[in-house]
Amino acid sequence: MTASSRQLMVIGAGTMGRGISEVALRHGWRVHLVDPDAAQRQSAQASIEKGLTRAASPEMLDPEWRRRLTVSADWDGIEPSWVIEAVPETMALKGPLFTRLDQEFGPEVWLASNTSSIAVTEIQGVARNFPERIGGLHFFNPVPRMALVEVIAGMATKAPYVAAAVELIREWDKEPVVAPDRPGFLVNRVARPYYLEALRMVDDGIVSLETCDTIFEGVGFPMGPFRLMDLVGIDVNFAVTESVFTQTFYDARYRPHRLQQQKIRLGQLGRKSGRGFYRYD
């Protein structure tokens, strides 16, 4: 397959895939959103439409955007210039997917993983035909509103990839930061103490979680650590910590906390389940 200019293929129609698709559509790109789950595809289309029409004034939004979006279960016949993978955060899914992408698309097609914590070099390890055109594009949730995108170069990524990625992110009116391919990249790595120290303090009875949140919110953090974990999802936050912990060969700084694990076992995952550290019913 050969690449066509300003054509994006997004794999995975979950929250991140929808957000990335919405941003690309808003900037005039043709978007092919791929997801094997029919219900997910249907819900994603409605969500993208809602996002685009809500965020942009009618004169700002190209009325042709619907024609630039296709949603399908696979990518037969699609010739994108960029592919961004946004499937759940596990190598069991990402690994075989990148192996196939690497086999089916030529070296002129840039491949990116929207991973938040899996090493890009690990992905390159299963896509060895053209690993130099693979990197990470870590968008933040909610994608349409969050300005930052981490651009991650794996060990085999070449400079032209990084340059193309930075250009792409700027074209989408977002701010790229080139982050090293180390566990948690930049943002998720530096952020770990915000959650882990808070969990340790509360578990040790030094401060209540409500007071802890109030203290941080009182100095300008939009959400204290516990309210933020509830918003992100305690399971999601725990998974990132676990990934950083494992990839650093069990550095004690990143040891996941059992308070989170217990919440997950009880199904108290945060806002999405109606209860996390706080109740939302």
> Which residues sit at the interface with another protein, rule CB under 8 A?
140, 146-148, 150, 175, 177-180, 182, 186-187, 189-194, 197-198, 201, 204-207, 211-212, 214-216, 218-222, 225, 251-253
Minimum Å distance from CB 146 to another protein?
7
Minimum Å distance from CB 19 to another protein?
14
CA angle in degrees (0–180, nearest 5) for 76-79-82 = 120
Minimum Å distance from CB 124 to another protein?
19
SS (H, E, C) 244-259: HHHHCCCCHHHCCCHH
**Which residue number, 39 or 219, has a Cβ lying nearer to another protein?**
219
**Which residue number, 6 or 271, has a Cβ lying nearer to another protein?**
271
Minimum Å distance from CB 216 to another protein?
7
Burial group, residue 77, by CB count within 10 angstroms (0-12, 13-18, 19+):
exposed
Minimum Å distance from CB 194 to another protein?
6
**Which residue number, 93 or 215, has a Cβ lying nearer to another protein?**
215
Q: Structure tokens of 163?
A: 């340059």
**Which residue number, 33 or 198, has a Cβ lying nearer to another protein?**
198
Contacts 24+ apart (CB under 8 A), 71-76: 71/13, 71/32, 71/33, 71/34, 71/35, 71/41, 71/44, 71/45, 72/32, 72/33, 72/34, 72/41, 73/34, 73/35, 73/36, 73/38, 73/41, 74/34, 74/36, 75/9, 75/11, 75/32, 75/34
**Which residue number, 73 or 206, has a Cβ lying nearer to another protein?**
206
